[in-house]
Amino acid sequence: MSSDTPTGAFRALPTPRLRSLYTHLCRRNPGEPEFQQAAHEVLSSLAPVLAARPELAEPGLIERIAEPERQIIFRVPWQDDSGAPHVHRGFRVEFNSALGPYKGGLRFHPSLNLGIVKFLGFEQTFKNALTGFGIGGGKGGSDFDPRGRSDAEVMRFCQSFMTELHRHLGEHTDIPAGDIGVGSREIGYLFGQYRRITNRWESGTLTGKGRAWGGSELRPQATGYGAVLFLADMLTVRGESLDGRRVAVSGSGNVALHAIEKAQELGAHVLTASDSAGCVLDEKGIDLPLLKHLKEVERGRLHVYPHRRGTSARYVPGGRVWDVPADLALPCATQNELDAEAAATLVANGVKAVVEGANMPTTPGAVHVLQQAGVSFGPGKAANAGGVAASVLEMQQNATRQTWSRTQTAARLAAVMHRIHDTCYETADRFGAPGDYLTGANIAGFERLATGMLAQGLV
Domain residues of the chain, as ranges? 7-65, 70-201, 222-383
139 annotated active-site = yes
* Per-residue pLDDT tens listing for the chain (459 residues): 444 644 445 778 999 999 999 999 999 999 999 999 999 999 999 999 999 999 999 999 999 999 999 999 999 999 999 999 999 999 999 999 999 999 999 999 999 999 999 999 999 999 999 999 999 999 999 999 999 999 999 999 999 999 999 999 999 999 999 999 999 999 999 999 999 999 999 999 999 999 999 999 999 999 999 999 999 999 999 999 999 999 999 999 999 999 999 999 999 999 999 999 999 999 999 999 999 999 989 988 999 999 999 999 999 999 999 999 999 999 999 999 999 999 999 999 999 999 999 999 999 999 999 999 999 999 999 999 999 999 999 999 999 999 999 999 999 999 999 999 999 999 999 999 999 999 999 999 999 999 999 999 999
Does 284 carry a binding-site annotation? Answer: no
Exposure string for 377-393, b = 16+ CB within 10 A, e = fewer: bbbbbbbbbbbbbbbbb
Q: Is 207 annotated as a binding residue?
A: no
- pLDDT for the residue 11: 78
Q: Is residue 242 within 8 Å of residue 233, measured between CB atoms?
A: no
- What confidence score (pLDDT) does residue 6 get? 40
**pTM of the entire structure?**
0.94
Burial class from Cβ neighbours inside 10 Å (0-12, 13-18, 19+) for residue 449 reads buried
103 is in an annotated binding site: yes
Q: Which CATH code for domain 70-201?
A: 3.40.50.10860
| Residue 184 marked as a ligand binder | no
Is 178 known to sit in a ligand binding site? yes
For residue 375, the tally of other CB atoms under 10 A from its CB is 19
Burial 52-64 (b: 16+ CB within 10 A, else e): eeeebbeeebbee
124 assigned to a ligand binding site: yes
Catalytic residue among 139, 262, 295, 381: 139
Q: What is the structure's pLDDT at 299?
A: 85
CATH class of 222-383: alpha beta
Residue 192: its pLDDT value, please? 98
pLDDT of residue 71: 98
What's the confidence (pLDDT) of residue 405? 95
